[in-house]
Amino acid sequence: MSRLSFTRGCTGLVVVLVLGLIGGCAAEPPAESDDMSAVEEPAGVTIPEMPVPPAVTINHVMVAQIDHASHALWDAGLSDQRPETDEDWRELQHHAIQVASGGTFIALGGTGQADPGYVRLVGWSDYAQEMTDSAVAAMRAADNQDLDALLAAGDALIQSCEGCHQEFKPDLPSEGYLHPHYLRPE
């Protein structure tokens, strides 16, 4: 056997072994145990395979990440919370990044009982994309230190949030997980 043939054979064997290991290590997604899991995938909407299964519910992402960061963006319009320093603007940019990444997370689903069904519903990914787009606009506005553009992006974010909650969670249930800012006395 020539050295070239031996090298090619070894390379092929390594590729087969690596692919086998990757395939064998893939985790199973959480079990779908509610009525929402029976929702069919609509035409034109493809739910991507996740290399890492979700670790938390969509509600956890909404409350701990998206809602918290969104309030920082919305509150920038209040006279006592307007950004004045470069650090203030960087902080707003970080909050916008959190909201933008949250849009991706909720589009993929979570570990909540109804989460597999939500991501299959027509409109779910559209609202997640609108939220992401609004957050990216807020990120650019913060980068440019443009308060008017930041507030416009915040308004678009509100429209996305309200539309989604109106369609999918009209009573805005939190499943018992509340962000600390809800617990502060008024």
- Given a contact cutoff of 8 angstroms between Cβ atoms, the answer to whether 21 and 15 are in contact is no
Q: CATH classification of 35-182, choosing from 3.40.50, 1.20.120, 1.10.1740, 1.10.510?
A: 1.20.120
- Given a contact cutoff of 8 angstroms between Cβ atoms, the answer to whether 158 and 74 are in contact is yes
pLDDT at 46: 66
Does pTM surpass 0.75? no
Closest CA to 135 of 177, 106, 165: 106
pLDDT digits (tens, 9 = 90+) for 38-66: 556 566 666 667 678 889 999 999 989 99
Max mean pLDDT among 25-39, 52-66, 114-128, 133-147 falls in 133-147
* Terminal-residue alpha carbon distance, the chain: 81
Sketch the domain layout of the chain as residue ranges: 35-182
Angle CA 16–17–21, to nearest 5: 120
